[in-house]
Chains A and B, each alone.
Chain A
Amino acid sequence: MTVLNSVQPDADTATVKDARRGRGHGVHYLLLAPAILLSMAIVLVPGVFTLVTSFTDWNGVAADPEFVGVENYAAILADPIFRTAVGNNIIWTLLFLTIPVVLGLGVALLLLRRPRTRGLYQVIFLLPYVMAAVTNAMVWLNMIYSPISGVIGFLNKQGWDIDSPISSLDGAIYAVAAVDIWHYWGFLLVVYLAALRQTPVEQIEAAQLEGANSWQVFRYVYLPNIRPTMQLMFVMIMIFSFLTFDYIFLMTQGGPANSTEMLSTFAYSLAFATFQFGKAAAVGIVMGVFGLVASVIYTRMSRRGMDV
C-alpha cells in the first residue's frame, strides 16, 4: 500500500501531464492546420496531379487521358532538347553559385566599412531586384544587346564589329544569365551584409588585437559567423536555378536554335505549344527531383546543427 500510495500521486501527476501535453499537442496541431491545409491544397494536390499526369497522354483539355506508363519519361530522356535543357540548368546553377555570391559577398565586405553610406549603396544595388523582370529584360534587350538602339549597335556604328551575344549559340545563355545575375546579386549583397553585421564586435576586436589582418578577420571571424546564411543561400540558389524561367522566356524563349532552353521553358513549350501536358508534367517532375535533392541537403545541414 505504501508503495501504491507513493506511486499513486506520481501516476496522477503523469496523467495530468499527459492530458496537458495532449491538449498542448491538440492546440499545436490546430495552429498548424491552416499552414498544412494550405500546403496540401496548393502544393501537395497539384504535385500529385502532376505526378499522375506524367504517366498519361493528357493534352491539357481532354477529360479521358490514357495511362501510358513511363512513355513520357522515355520520350523526354531521348529528346536532345531535354538534354540541352538539363545542361543549361547545370550551367545556370554553377554561374549563380559563383558570380553573384562572390560579387555580393565582396561588396558586402566593402560596405561594412562604410557605415554612413552603405544604406544608399544597398538601395542602389537592390534596385534591379525590385524592378519587374520584364522591365529588366526589355532594358537589356533594347538598350544593351540591340544592334539598332543598344550599346552593341552604337559600337557597331563606331566601327567595332561585335555581334550581339544574345544571337550567339554559345554566348546566349551567358548573355541572359548576365541580366539575371545583374538583377539578383544586389539581393545577395543585402543578405550577406545583414549577416556580416550580426558578427559580435568583441570577436572582431579580439582578432584585431591579436594582430589578424583583414583576410584573417574575414576567414576566421566573419566567415564562421555567416556560414549558416551562406549555406541557406547556396541551397536556395540551387533550387531557384532549376526553376528559372522568367528571364529566359522574356529574352530568348529558349532560342536561338534551343541553345538557351531550360527545363522550365521546355515544359512550357510542350504544354502550351504542342498540347503535350503529359510530357510537360514529366519534365516538371524531373525539375522537382532536383529541387528535392537541394531540400534534402538543406534538411541535413539543419539537423547537423548548422542553425540554418
Chain B
Amino acid sequence: MKNIRRTLRVTAAAAAITLLAACGAGGEGSSDGREELELWFWGATPAQRAALEENLVDAYNASQDEYTLTVTFNERVDSNIQTALAANEGPDIVYGSGPSFVSPFAQSGKLLNLDEYSEQYGWQDRLLAPIYESGTVDGSLYAVANSINTVGIFYNQAVLDDLGVGVPTTIEELETALAAAQDAGLYPSVTGNKGWQPVNENYSSMFLTAVAGPDAMHDVLTGAASWTDQPYVDAVQMSADWYENGYLGGGQYTNLNFLESMQLLSDGQSPFFFGPTLAFQFAAEFFNTENGNVDDLGFIPFPTVGAELESPLYTLATTASFSINAQSEHPDAAAEVIDHMLTEDFMSTMTAQWPGYWGVPLAGVELDPAQFDGLSAAYVTALVDILTATEEGRFGYFTGTFFPPQTQQALVDIDTVWTGQADAETFLTGIETTFAAELADGAVPPIPAP
C-alpha cells in the first residue's frame, strides 16, 4: 500500500513539474530558442486559415530564426483584444476592425506609435494617402489597413441576360433591372444582417455616398454641415424606400446573411447582391469551375444619384487594421510582420487563394486581372477600379472606417427608419447629437478630403 502511495506521489510530482515546465515554455521563448510573436486574428474558414498560415506564418518563420510567429483565430477577436489591452496584455500584433476601433486604444496608450516604423519601411509613400491617414490619431500612425474595401453590387450575368437587361451603370438602369426582377418573381436584390447587426452600416454608408456625395460627407464629418441637412435626409430616406419596396434585401433582409445571399445570387434567385467586396471570400463556394458559373459573377459600384455627383463613386472602407501592442516585447519583429503584409507579393499571393480580404491599399500598384484565375480575377478587376477611384478622390466614407464609434453604432440603427420606427429627420437628429458630442471630444478619426 505504501509503495502504491509513494508511486502516486512521485507520479503527481513529476506531472506537476512537467506541467510547470510546459507553462514556462509557452511564456517567453519556445523550446527551439526562438521568441514567441503573437497575432490574434478573426475566425476565418479552414481554407482561409491555411492560406494565412502558409503565406504569412510559415513564410515569416522561415525568413529568420529569432521569432516564431503564431496566429490565433477567434470569431470574437474584437472583444478579446479589448479585454486583453485593458489589462495591459494581449498579442504583439493587434488586429482591429477599422480605425474607429483603434482610436480609443491609441488615446489610452495601449498601442505603439508607428511613425518610426512608417519612416523605416516607407509606409506613408507606399500606401494610399486616405487609407494611411485613416490609421492616424492626432497626426501619428497607430494602425495600417490590411485591405481596401467598398460596398457595391455583385451581379449574376446569366440572370441579367434572362431578364433581358444589361449591367446597370446608372441609378435609373439599376431601378429598371430591380423592377424587372421583381416582376419575374425573383428577389430584386439580396443581402441581410442575420447574425450580425452591424451589416446595416454597409447600406447607411452606401446610400450616403451615392446620394449625399463625397463633398457633403466630408463637410458633415468635419463639422461643417449638420446631419439634419437635406442631402443626408434624402440618403436615409432613399434607403428606407428601397428597404420597404424590397429593392434592398428583397423583403428577407433580417433572414439572410452574406453567405446565403451569395447562394441565392448563384442560384439565380436574384440578379443582384448588394454587399462589400470582402464578400468575394464567400463567393468561391457558389461560383466555381465545378458549377461552371465563375464568369457569371461581376461587381460594379452602386450608381450615384443625381447628375451633379461624379460617377462612379466608391465608399472607401478598410477590411481590418494592424497595430502593435504598446506592451509588446518585440515591436521591431511585429513591425516586420506587418510590413510583410503590406507588399504587392503578399497581396497577389493571398488574393489568388483568398479573394476579397487582402486588397492591400498600395499606391501606384498595377495589377493585371489576367494574371489571376477564377474569382480572384473578378476581385482584382474590382480592386483596380477602387484603387484608381481612391487615387482620383472619387470616394465616400464607410462608417466603420471614418466615423467615431458611437456615431457608427447609431448608424447601425438605420433599420429603425427602414421599419418605420422613426422617420429620417428624427433619426438624423439623434445622429447629429451623438456626432456633435464625439466631435467635441476629439473622437472623430481624420477625414481625408476627397
- The chain A residues found within 8 Å of chain B, CB to CB, are 59-63, 141, 145-148, 163-164, 166-167, 169, 172, 250, 252-258, 269, 272-276
Contacts and interface: CB of A to CB of B under 8 A. Distances in A.
Given A166-B254, A169-B421, A272-B82, 9 more contacts: A61-B110, A141-B195, A148-B260, A256-B415, A257-B418, A272-B78, A272-B79, A273-B408, A274-B406
A172 to B, nearest CB: 8
A256 B405 contact: no
Contacts of A166: 254-255
A141 B194 contact: yes
Interface string B105-125: 101111000000000000000
A28 to B, nearest CB: 31
B124 to A, nearest CB: 26
Given A253-B196, A275-B405, A59 B252 contact: no
Q: Provide the main secondary structure of the chain B interface.
A: helix
A147 B419 CA distance: 19
Nearest to B192: A167
A60 B104 contact: yes
A255 B254 contact: yes
Nearest to A62: B108
A256 B254 contact: yes
Interface string B366-392: 000000000000000000000000000
Interface of B: 78-79, 82, 85-86, 104-105, 107-110, 193-198, 251-256, 260, 263-264, 405-406, 408-409, 412-413, 415-416, 418-419, 421
A250 B419 CA distance: 21
B415 A59 contact: no
B409 A269 contact: yes
A164 B255 contact: yes
Contact of B255 (A62, A146, A257, A269): A146
Contact of A254 (B107, B110, B197, B264): B197
A167 B104 contact: no
Contacts of B252: 147, 164, 167
Given A61-B82, A273-B405, A256 B419 contact: yes
Contacts of B409: 269, 273-274
Contacts of B107: 62
A262 to B, nearest CB: 13
Contacts of A276: 406
Contacts of A272: 78-79, 82
A210 to B, nearest CB: 57
A67 to B, nearest CB: 17
A169 B194 CA distance: 14
